[in-house]
């Protein structure tokens, strides 16, 4: 177990307006990709509701039972949150966050920073070469006046 260092933001990489369930994520990650655990601790639905996928406590360490497999090489020091969406109808990357999802994600990020004063918030695309989460996390955090120490790697 190690100190929690990153909050990583993801998208489900699914077309705008299509809902995704916990069972979908489990099927994709565990059954189809063969991972031991899904890639996200929490999921923000289209209506802004937050759903827990992997339990975790509020301390500053990532215990083995809390690990989600969201970004290879970082999972021991990261917590992963995903919003439903992230591409257009043709599967091209697109920031499809609804106002409700943006609001929920902002609350989520602010709470994580309060709870973990040294945490850094990054997009999946800052840890590996992917489009996920289909928006520039750093720019968004700056627009919310999140302190620099929490932005980027
Ligand atoms: Zn991702």
Average pLDDT on 80-102 reads 98
Q: Which CATH number fits the domain that encloses residue 40?
A: 3.40.80.10
With cut-offs at 50, 70 and 90, classify the pLDDT of residue 112. very high
How many domains is the chain partitioned into structurally? Answer: 1
Is the separation of the CB atoms in 73 and 2 below 8 Å?
A: no
What one-character-per-residue DSSP string does 89-136 give?
Answer: TTS-B-----HHHHHHHHHHHHHHHHHSTT-EEEEGGGTSS--TTSS-
Could you tell me what percent of the chain has a pLDDT over 90? Answer: 98
Average pLDDT on 1-20 reads 96
Residue of 23, 45, 38, 129 lying closest to 79 (CA atoms):
38
pLDDT for 1? 78
pLDDT for 118? 97
The 3-state DSSP class for residue 21 equals: coil
| pTM metric for this prediction | 0.96
Q: 150: CA distance to ligand 1 center in Å? A: 19
Q: 10: CA distance to ligand 1 center in Å? A: 4
Dihedral sign, CA of 101, 64, 72, 53? negative
- What pLDDT, in 10s, does the model give residues 18-69? 999 999 999 999 999 999 999 999 999 999 999 999 999 999 999 999 999 9
Q: 7: CA distance to ligand 1 center in Å? A: 12
Q: 123: CA distance to ligand 1 center in Å? A: 8
Q: Containing domain of residue 53, as a range?
A: 2-150
pLDDT at 93 > cutoff 90: yes
pLDDT for 141? 98
pLDDT mean across residues, the chain: 96
Write out the H or E segment, with its range, that includes residue 26: helix 22-26
Residues making up the chain, counted from first to last: 153
Is the separation of the CB atoms in 56 and 68 below 8 Å?
A: no
Average pLDDT on 110-126 reads 97
- Angle at the Cα of 142 (from 101 to 140), degrees rounded to 5? 30
Q: 26: CA distance to ligand 1 center in Å? A: 15
pLDDT for 150? 98
Q: 148: CA distance to ligand 1 center in Å? A: 22
């Amino acid at each position: 177990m190690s100190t929690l260092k990153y909050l990583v933001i993801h998208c489900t990489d699914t077309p705008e307006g299509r809902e995704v369930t916990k069972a979908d994520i489990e099927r994709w990650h565990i059954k189809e990709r063969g991972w031991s655990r899904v890639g996200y601790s929490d999921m923000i639905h289209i209506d802004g509701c937050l759903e827990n996928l992997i339990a975790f406590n509020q301390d500053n360490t990532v215990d083995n039972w809390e690990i989600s497999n969201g970004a290879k090489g970082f999972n021991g020091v990261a917590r992963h949150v995903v919003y439903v969406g992230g591409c257009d109808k043709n599967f091209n990357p697109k920031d499809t966050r609804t106002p409700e999802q943006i609001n929920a994600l902002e609350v989520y990020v602010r709470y994580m920073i309060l709870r973990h004063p040294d945490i850094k918030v990054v997009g999946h695309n800052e840890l590996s070469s992917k489009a996920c989460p289909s928006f520039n996390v750093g720019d968004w955090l700056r627009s919310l006046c999140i302190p620099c120490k929490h932005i980027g790697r």
